[in-house]
Structure 1
């Protein structure tokens, strides 16, 4: 069984696609699927998991979560929109994701800037959060083979995730300035 320390290290060692990883040319759907599923391969919980599928992309388009597609090709901005949606839907209900991104299909944001700002903030979280988690969980004192300690650790992390989700929902619910 893995130690709590190794689990913490692994949790904060996920993969990202950076703007420079996204081609400057428009891509077909299959190319986007390959880019995302290969580029974020290490983020899968199970090897057979799909991070992005044709159905997801079609639904994002149908639900106006992404800008309208011209022909059958998607721009870099589309890819970055999809990456933002991928990250948001891990924590939020799709209705909340829709609230955040659907106004942006009418007046498009600079998704490259949004996504780059997100990645910069994420690096700071990666740098600081493992220490915070270690301070709270005290992994050197945890025996994950003990069901009570395992459950207590999972409940503690679930509580932290819930606080952050509630904060994110508050941001979703706050009105846009006119």
Structure 2
């Protein structure tokens, strides 16, 4: 296993909640939290970090990031939407996440199409992203190792350069995602 694969493995790239992992019965918030803890515990940066809390779920509900629940229970569709919120919220603002999921929520409420089918597509893209990330990480590591002049070539400088490079790529991807959210908004008011 090369350095990039080892690093990618250490950040649990392929941890996710599969459709089959979601019970076929509606869940209370404590059960949803436990599902997320079980699924994403290995991806925590710090042991005391919380993956999902009741407050987070309540804030998503109050902010209308997903359609209303029934009898204090969350359906499989809600769990799928909460997972997508969980994944996007570290990069996008809550308002951007809300806008992104607005159409999906509307379709789920009107029972148009299958949220499960869409979610499976999302998981397939997520799997592919992990593979692309690992290949890109390898390329970034190679560039960081080779770009420093020989007299400055030490592991700390190489690591700092790699960190800066990854942060920059993250910013570029974030800006691209924000641009696409802005395009969704423009479509809403008819301007282009």
TM-score class normalised by the smaller sequence = 0.7 to 0.9
Number of residue pairs the alignment of both structures matches: 175
142, 151, 157: which is aligned to 2:166? 157
Residue in 2 that maps onto 1:172: 181
Q: Does 1:123 align with 2:166?
A: no
Aligned to 1:31: 31
SS in 1 for 2:86: helix
Give me the whole-angstrom Cα distance separating, in 1, the residues matched to 2:55 and 2:116.
24
Partner of 1:86: 86
Higher-Rg structure is 2
- Give me the TM-score of the superposition, normalised by structure 1: 0.86
Cα deviation 1:128-155 (Å, max 9, x = unaligned): 321222123218948xx84322221111
How many Å separate the matches in 2 of 1:33 and 1:12?
A: 19
Output aligned runs, 1:26-175, within 5 Å.
Answer: 26-108=26-108, 110-138=114-142, 141=145, 146-175=155-184
In 1, Cα distance between the equivalents of 2:143 and 2:5? 6
CA RMSD across the alignment: 2.5
TM-superposed deviation, 1:112? 2.0
Cα displacement (A) at 1:8: 3.5
- Out of 10-19 and 151-160, give the one that drifted further: 10-19
Contact 1:12 1:130 in 2 (8 A): no
5+ long unaligned stretches in structure 1: none
Distance 1:14 1:43, change over 3 A: farther
Of residues 148-157 and 52-61 in structure 1, the stretch that sits farther from structure 2 once superposed is 148-157
Q: CA deviation at 1:5?
A: 5.6
- Alpha-carbon offset, residue 40 of structure 1: 1.4
Separation in structure 2 between the aligned mates of residue 64 and residue 23 of structure 1, nearest angstrom? 23
For residues 129 and 105 of structure 1, the distance between their equivalents in structure 2, rounded to whole angstroms, comes to 29
Which stretch shows the higher mean deviation, 66-75 or 102-111? Answer: 102-111
* TM-score, length of structure 2 as denominator length: 0.80
Structure 2: distance between partners of 1:69 and 1:152: 46
State the distance in 2 between where 1:72 and 1:12 align.
31
How far, CA to CA, are the matches of 1:150 and 1:74 in structure 2? 43
C-alpha contact 1:14 1:43 (8 A) present in aligned 2: no
* Contact 2:88–2:97 (CA under 8 A) maintained in structure 1: yes
Instruction: Note closer, same or farther for the CA distance 1:159–1:118 as it changes in structure 2 (3 Å cut).
Output: same
